[in-house]
Structure 1
Amino acid sequence: MSLTAWVNGRFLPLEEATVHIEDRGFQFADGVYEVIACFGGKFLELDAHLDRLEQSCEAINISLLKSRPELIELIHETYRRNPFDHAMIYIQATRGVAPRSHLLQQEIVPTLVITSRELPTPSANKLAMGASAITLPDIRWQRCDIKSIALLASVIGKQEAARKGVDEAFWLDNEGHILEGCATNCFAVIDGELVTHPLDHQVLGGITRHLTLKIARQHGITVTERPWKLDEPGLTECMMSSTTNAVIAVSHINDKTIGDGTAGPISSNLRQWMIDEFEAMKQ
């Protein structure tokens, strides 16, 4: 399939979709983004994604210059031109194009880009056996609640994870609590409760994280949002969530086996319940 992107007011073939060399997203990572899952033309938690996009833009003082209805129409049209059965819609907004200077000297027009690609899914073996991860000291900036395109620390973390032959790296705070992954939120099952770090400047409010907690509560699982560590007594499962993973078990962290080394019952159930919701949404 030949892909099409929306860039600053025009739909273009992906290979022709470019921005100016002095775009502040390129020069300074001065921008924010969202990734939205789409199943059979139905967008998952679209309003929640757009709420977060607006919050990120407001936090760094960028105007989208598009109303909510206009943005939704553009998202639908981008998908229509790239109609994968399972798709991920990427939206990126930057401050715009200006001569390179930390302090902006003039009013400029923000850059807005929207693309649609096929949504990757974990392999059957990964779903059964669980993913693997390492932990790293948190080297990121202190506003992880903003979905910034400044992802160098996450790139470094992912590279280190790949070098060690695992799927993800989880960031640790100074006291050894697990915060989140390079591109995921992280959970544990401790004494039968689903535990995850509370939202703050160190943790992004993941849309799939929110959906995971909602589904857990709907099925009678106790949810606790608090700092937690890997060596806590009663820890039997770990898992991670993201747009591309939904929910997937993490069975090995730092070469330590979690539970019996396969996807545990709560992570497996949460994933199936979430997939069931996706399928119902498509209907």
Structure 2
Amino acid sequence: MRTVYVNGDYLPESEGRVSIFDRGFLFADGVYEVTTVLDGKLVDFDGHAARLERSLRELDMPMPMTRDALLEVHHRLVAENDIDEGLVYLQVTRGAADRDFAYPAEETEQTVVLFTQAKPGLAKAPEKGLSVDLQPDLRWGRRDIKTVQLLYPSMAKMAAKRAGHDDAWMHEPGGTITEGTSNNAYIVKGNTIVTRQLGNEILHGITRAAVLRLAREAQMKVEERAFTVEEAQSADEAFVTSASTFVMPVTSIGGKAVGDGQPGRIAGRLREIYLDEARAKAL
């Protein structure tokens, strides 16, 4: 049975409890982060901690503990649950209070929960690329804040799976792609990598930042701009990035094969160099 962390206590998962009045449950009033574990070490922890601080700040919430204390909790959970390859999930909410749209008093104690998921083979090279469906982007406007309100991405992912796809890319009314349901989206035209520019419309991915930096260091051309569904379907290759998939090729978009329908060369190379650095710098 897994050990989880709930508000300062390390507990068997069957004993973890959160109040029914918690604002994360009542209002999705909380944020989360997911940190990858490779070889028993944390990948890009500082990036995830920095984004957590930003998300909390955007929602007028303080950090519930120091970054060093948070790192200690992550390390203990990885050790106690014997995680070699997997994920550590962290959720912070505004805490429990009587139901009211207005925020509770500032001294209300936040809720902090962490748990692990073992994912053996997480870093294994993909045998095939993803097939992604196309779904309208109906999320709220502040997608740059990593909140726990994930209902629409879940709905879009399930619609894609029912249609026989692995995932979905979401698009705006004008036909421009924003991102995947749980990842950032990229296309490759010639030798140029194209991905949506940062803004409120997409999550500021930690893996995204690392991959784009590595691409530029490898002398690959990168354009951060909006791209359309039509551009995506006529691209030479495509891929997604996230903490749980690293760099994952996409071989079909909206039922149309991308390039030759096989995982692309650039996506494969970026996955290799990203994993090499992730392992070398993991904590």
Tell me the TM-score normalised to structure 2 length: 0.94
In 2: Cα distance, 1:97 partner to 1:269 partner = 46
Counterparts of 1:184 and 1:30 in 2: how far apart (Å)?
A: 22
Separation in structure 2 between the aligned mates of residue 89 and residue 161 of structure 1, nearest angstrom: 26
In structure 1, the partner of 2:109 is 109
- Give the secondary-structure state (helix, strand or coil) at the position aligned to 1:231: helix
Question: Following TM superposition, by how much is the alpha carbon of 1:105 offset from its aligned partner in structure 2, in angstroms?
Answer: 4.4
Amino acid at match of 1:165: G
**C-alpha separation between the residues in 2 aligned to 1:83 and 1:238?**
35
Matching residue of 1:253: 253
Q: Deviations over 1:194-227 (max 9, x none)?
A: 0000011111011111111112112111111001
Change (3 A) 1:250 1:64: same
Cross-structure match for 1:64: 63
1:89-128 map, 5 Å: 89-106=88-105, 107-119=107-119, 127-128=126-127
Q: CA deviation at 1:280?
A: 3.4
CA distance in 2, matches of 1:159, 1:121: 24
Q: Percent identity?
A: 36
Which residue does the alignment assign to 1:15?
A: 14
Q: 2:166 matched to 1:156?
A: no
Distance 1:215 1:204 in 2: 19
CA deviations over 1:47-70 (Å, ceiling 9, x no partner): 110000000001101123311221
The equivalent of 1:199 in structure 2 is 198
Amino acid at match of 1:251: T
SS of 2:152's equivalent? helix
1:31–1:95 CA contact under 8 A, matched in 2: yes
Per-residue displacement from partner, 1:148-177 (whole Å, max 9, x unpaired)?
A: 000111111111011111111111012111
Quote how far apart the aligned CAs of 1:72 are.
Answer: 1.4
On the 8 A contact 2:24/2:94 being kept in 1, the answer is yes
Separation in 1, partners of 2:112, 2:254: 39
- Unaligned 5+ segments in structure 1 are none
Is the Cα contact below 8 Å between 1:128 and 1:262 reproduced in 2?
no
Bigger shift: 190-199 or 112-121? 112-121
CA distance in 2, matches of 1:224, 1:22: 45
CA distance in 2, matches of 1:160, 1:50: 32
- Whole-Å Cα distance in 2 between the matches of residues 201 and 280 of structure 1? 32
Q: Is the 8 A contact 1:6 1:115 kept in 2?
A: yes
Which residue pairs with 1:244 in the alignment?
A: 244
Deviates more, 1:204-213 or 1:227-236: 227-236
Query: 1:77-88 maps to which residues of 2 (within 5 A)?
Result: 77-88=76-87
Secondary structure, counterpart of 1:232 in structure 2:
helix
Alignment of 1:138-153 (within 5 A): 138-153=137-152
CA separation of 1:230/1:237 partners in 2, compared to 1, >3 Å: closer, same or farther?
Answer: farther
Deviations 1:54-107 (A, max 9, x none): 000011011233112211111111212112111211110000001111113434
- Whether the 8 Å CA contact 2:44–2:281 is kept in 1: the answer is no
1:267 aligns with 2:244: no
The answer on 1:4 being equivalent to 2:9 is no
RMSD of aligned Cα (Å): 1.9
1:123 CA displacement: 9.6
Q: Are residue 49 (structure 1) and residue 48 (structure 2) matched?
A: yes
SS of equivalent residue, structure 1 residue 149: coil
User: Which whole-Å CA distance do the structure 1 matches of 2:242 and 2:281 have between them?
Assistant: 18
CA contact (8 A) 2:44 2:278 kept: no
- Contact 2:183/2:240 (CA < 8 Å) preserved in 1? yes
Q: Deviations over 1:131-158 (max 9, x none)?
A: 1001111100000000000011111111
**2:235: which partner in 1?**
235
Equivalent-residue separation in structure 2 for 1:279 and 1:61 (angstroms): 34
**TM-score w.r.t. structure 1 length?**
0.94
* Aligned partner letter, 1:82: N
Amino acid at match of 1:66: M
- Alpha-carbon contact 2:86-2:122 (below 8 Å) kept: no
Residues 242/120 of structure 1: CA separation in 2 closer, same or farther (3 Å cut): farther
